[in-house]
Amino acid sequence: MSKQVNFGDELVSPEEKTRRVGAVFSSVARRYDMMNDLMSGGMHRLWKDRFVNRVKPRSGEEILDMAGGTGDVAFRMARRGARVTVADINADMLEVGKQRAATRELTGLAWKVENAEALSFADASFDAYTIVFGIRNVTDIPAALREAYRVLKRGGRFYCMEFSSSDWPGFSSLYEAWASNVIPRIGKAVADDEESYRYLVESIRRFPRPDAFKRMVADAGFIRAAAEPMLGGLVTIHSGWKI
Ligand code: SAM
């Protein structure tokens, strides 16, 4: 039997995790952007702006926005002139993204269904690889990091933004109360989907702390792996280089 992995707080087979993560995002796709605003009080917009400022997309660069979902990060990078491929395992999330891009009259984006663990792109295809609030949902994270390394050109940049638990004592208990009690209730009231939002909260709690994830980035081959924690590690921007 294959090794059990966490789906939130439950232990399941790797295949079951991938299937259930798919079901979560298919279920939340239509309301995903509105729910992000409600759950974070609009903060996710500031975090994404800060993230893109770190990536510094340049005109004409090829960027892979992995687990790009409905395109929030990709749109910010495309507006700076980068050629962005939005890749995600979930076709429903990408479909919402394509409609949002059309509404905003944003062109030049490519959309592709891809599993981060086994990409179809050739070696050394991209100048930068970004993954925002996506990697904690991936079943085999080391495999995804190895694939990120493979598809980057020499000199390519890796950037990841992810949640974890915060180590600021007062703030972390406040966040815990919000995450455990309020977020699933907003999920129920607004999207009639308490379970999906409970999973999102549990997956945040289980994601490695910034230093541990930094070591995983280095283990995949990236040099100068760095972590920039915000809010005591509740949100961290990770980076690394391929030489
Ligand atoms: N990056 C977007 C953002 O910040 O708004 C979307 C983040 S959303 C929380 C997580 C995304 O990860 C979902 O769209 C989900 O389908 C995707 N995902 C989960 N597992 C994946 C995998 N193995 N490969 C690619 N995408 C995956």
What is the predicted pLDDT for the residue at 75? 98
71 lines ligand 1 (CB under 6 A): no
55 Cα: distance to centroid of ligand 1 (angstroms): 19
114 Cα: distance to centroid of ligand 1 (angstroms): 10
Task: Write the single-letter amino acid at 190.
Answer: V
Exposure of 179 in the CB half-sphere (CA atoms within 13 A):
18
240 lines ligand 1 (CB under 6 A): no
Compute, in degrees rounded to 10, the torsion defined by CA atoms 94, 110, 76, 149.
Answer: 100
Q: Which ligand 1 atom is nearest residue 33's CA?
A: 5
Q: What is the three-class DSSP state of 8?
A: coil
Q: Which residues contact 29 (CB under 8 A, 6 or more apart)?
A: 70, 90, 92, 93, 95, 96
69 lines ligand 1 (CB under 6 A): yes
* Single pTM value for the model: 0.96
What is the predicted pLDDT for the residue at 108? 82
What is the predicted pLDDT for the residue at 1? 52
Helix (H) or strand (E) holding 138: none
CA distance 47 to 235: 8
Instruction: Give 10-residue mean pLDDT values along the chain (243 residues).
Output: 84 94 92 90 96 97 98 97 97 97 93 98 98 96 98 98 92 90 89 89 93 97 97 96 97
Q: What is the three-class DSSP state of 27?
A: helix
Mutate to test the pocket of ligand 1, among 30, 43, 86, 90 (most ligand atoms within 8 A of CB): 90
What is the predicted pLDDT for the residue at 3? 86
CA distance 2 to 30: 33
